[in-house]
Chains A and B, each alone.
Chain A
């Protein structure tokens, strides 16, 4: 058996999810006697391959092309599918990131393979790989298996541990795959990163604000707290729908599902669709003046008070503690 692990890089840096995917492939391979091949795609990314051996890849295949400087849905899918065929991979792991979620469905069609998206746990039962995935925005979990010959899984970032590098090396093989213009039918032309902004999906701490902040002008209180603790800022659907915050910050069923180490819900009542998106956070702090707000049902620590009064004091106290 062979597992192909797609190791994502952006700007010629391996994403944390690359290590998560390779390490998870190794753990599953050790349970089932399989080999792990990692795949790196990009332009001049060969130098990144060495790092992956320490996380469990026996072999790293690199596919380089100048045109692969930026992501292409169609070209990536072609490369992943061709490498999977060449290596006779039975299982393919990709991260459930913007790239992984976009090209995995194409790879599935090319290989006539079943796809289990955004998995949060994997296990082997009676020789079969079973994936756990949240559905209905984490209101439920489901265990699924894939019945096709080739099986594709995308793994939710920040859920699977990377472990430490063992320092082992792996064979590095550079592979040429002929790519013509039609293979780049969907191709990224430019990338606009919001400068210095930490994304909620990648943050260890999130400070989220809701209607209890009374208006967009009070979100500077959220931003100040976030900046002191190195957090990303989030928002409830009510705050986004009111136009106070951009949709990219929305947490919940029609926004992002997050599971940071620490989540501050400030002036958020905790509608069911918000709880679905954040209740798997390790620690939850709720600040809300309504003692009956549902958010207190999932909060580890609560303060029943007006968020606008509590926030400056909290920021001040943490600033003192962290010496900022």
Chain B
């Protein structure tokens, strides 16, 4: 089974994000970048499928040289091969999907995994766009996956419940937290990853269809009042919720 996992290099969720001088990007200096959290579930799922059905897991990331760090993390977790689709330009979901789809056409994987969204632009679109570009079925926001022969039964999270979707391979999936418990890279894996090559490719790209006009901070909430410091504050809190906020 050939498994492709498409991953992204994003600011740590604990990072404070500020805006660069041009007002259209974030200030990257001083920000720690990590493997996109949802992509960890995608990698783990591919590794488990490989362990069960044998095959090869290929990690793919589209971006600049900095993405190599994240590809090394994937190698340390146990993927067999890492490919950087080199592109220093910031692009929107459509353009990223186009680049990734071009590469996937060459290698024709049976299973293509993404995280359900990148925690930077939160677009949640690239995986399903790639599926459409490759004319493949897809299931987004997957929390459970069972393969029997060529058929895959997937649970996806929806508002207040789950949908069960059946698709035939090859297919695209996007991973939600809860799909599995990602492994920590073992020291042996980390050491081995350092010497594994990362293949670099430059592909034809397309321009973004969306354009950032500006970025700005949301209106921040001000700290309100401390109603009290023990249980006796409860009645005053309830009075405020009813009479001042009028929400109860």
Q: A-side interface residues toward B, CB under 8 Å?
A: 70-71, 73-74, 77, 97-99, 101-106, 108-110, 113-118, 130, 133-148, 185-194, 197-199, 201-202, 205, 229, 246-248, 250, 253-255, 261-262, 271-273, 276, 279-280, 282-285, 291, 296-305, 309-310, 313-314, 317-318, 321-322
| Chain B nearest CB, measured from A49 CB (Å) | 23
- Which residues from B are CB-within-8-Å of A262? 241, 245, 247-248
| Chain B nearest CB, measured from A20 CB (Å) | 14
Instruction: Identify which of A229, A247, A309 contacts B177 (C-beta below 8 A).
Output: A247
A288 to B137, CA, bound (A): 47
- Which residues from A are CB-within-8-Å of B157? 98, 248
Task: Report if B21 contacts A (CB, 8 A).
Answer: no
Instruction: Identify which of A70, A108, A147, A272 contacts B129 (C-beta below 8 A).
Output: A108
A8 to B35, CA, bound (A): 34
Task: Report if B229 contacts A (CB, 8 A).
Answer: yes
Check if B227 sits within 8 Å of A302, measured CB to CB: yes
A136 to B120, CA, bound (A): 5
A280 to B119, CA, bound (A): 18
Check if A296 sits within 8 Å of B223, measured CB to CB: yes
Which chain B residues in 137-173 approach chain A with CB under 8 Å? 137-141, 143, 153, 155-168, 171
| Chain A nearest CB, measured from B248 CB (Å) | 7
A321 to B239, CA, bound (A): 10
Check if B128 sits within 8 Å of A193, measured CB to CB: no
| Chain B nearest CB, measured from A139 CB (Å) | 5
Check if B93 sits within 8 Å of A115, measured CB to CB: yes
When each residue 91-129 of chain B gets 1 if its CB lies under 8 Å from chain A and 0 otherwise, what string results? 011100100000000000000000000011111111111
| Chain B nearest CB, measured from A292 CB (Å) | 12
A246 to B157, CA, bound (A): 12
Task: Report if B231 contacts A (CB, 8 A).
Answer: yes
Interface of B, secondary structure class, is mixed
Given contacts A137-B13, A145-B213, contact A101 B140 (CB under 8 A): yes
Check if A192 sits within 8 Å of B162, measured CB to CB: yes
Check if B177 sits within 8 Å of A255, measured CB to CB: yes
Check if A303 sits within 8 Å of B132, measured CB to CB: no
| Chain B nearest CB, measured from A69 CB (Å) | 13
Check if B237 sits within 8 Å of A105, measured CB to CB: no
Given contacts A105-B125, A138-B218, A254-B119, contact A303 B234 (CB under 8 A): yes
A229 to B247, CA, bound (A): 10
A283 to B158, CA, bound (A): 26
Instruction: Identify which of B93, B171, B223 contacts A298 (C-beta below 8 A).
Output: B223
Across the two chains, which residue of chain A brings its CB closest to B221? A298
Task: Report if B90 contacts A (CB, 8 A).
Answer: no
Question: What are 27 A-to-B residue pairs whose CB atoms are below 8 Å?
Answer: A102-B140, A102-B141, A109-B133, A114-B94, A135-B122, A137-B122, A139-B16, A140-B217, A141-B215, A142-B215, A143-B212, A143-B213, A143-B216, A147-B211, A185-B167, A186-B165, A188-B163, A205-B247, A246-B178, A261-B247, A272-B16, A279-B221, A301-B241, A302-B224, A313-B234, A318-B248, A322-B248
Task: Report if B176 contacts A (CB, 8 A).
Answer: yes
Given contacts A109-B132, A145-B211, A301-B237, contact A198 B160 (CB under 8 A): yes
When each residue 207-248 of chain B gets 1 if its CB lies under 8 Å from chain A and 0 otherwise, what string results? 011111111111011011111111101110110111001011
Check if A118 sits within 8 Å of B241, measured CB to CB: no
Given contacts A109-B133, A318-B238, A321-B248, contact A191 B209 (CB under 8 A): no
Given contacts A118-B122, A296-B226, contact A303 B218 (CB under 8 A): no
Check if B231 sits within 8 Å of A73, measured CB to CB: no
| Chain A nearest CB, measured from B113 CB (Å) | 15
Given contacts A186-B165, A189-B165, contact A283 B122 (CB under 8 A): no
Check if A305 sits within 8 Å of B228, measured CB to CB: yes
Check if B211 sits within 8 Å of A192, measured CB to CB: no
- Which residues from A are CB-within-8-Å of B16? 139, 272
Check if B177 sits within 8 Å of A250, measured CB to CB: yes
Check if A309 sits within 8 Å of B231, measured CB to CB: yes
Task: Report if B17 contacts A (CB, 8 A).
Answer: yes
Check if B212 sits within 8 Å of A144, measured CB to CB: yes
Best-surrounded residue of B19, B210, B224 (most CB of chain A within 10 A): B210
Instruction: Identify which of A73, A140, A144, A317 contacts B128 (C-beta below 8 A).
Output: A73
| Chain A nearest CB, measured from B136 CB (Å) | 8
Check if B215 sits within 8 Å of A191, measured CB to CB: no
Instruction: Identify which of B11, B153, B213 contacts A130 (C-beta below 8 A).
Output: B213
- Which residues from A are CB-within-8-Å of B127? 105
- Which residues from A are CB-within-8-Å of B209? 113-115, 146-148
The 9 tightest CB contacts between A and B, nearest first, are A114-B209, A199-B160, A300-B224, A185-B137, A193-B161, A98-B158, A109-B132, A105-B128, A247-B178
- Which residues from B are CB-within-8-Å of A74? 137
Task: Report if B187 contacts A (CB, 8 A).
Answer: no
A74 to B128, CA, bound (A): 10
A227 to B15, CA, bound (A): 35
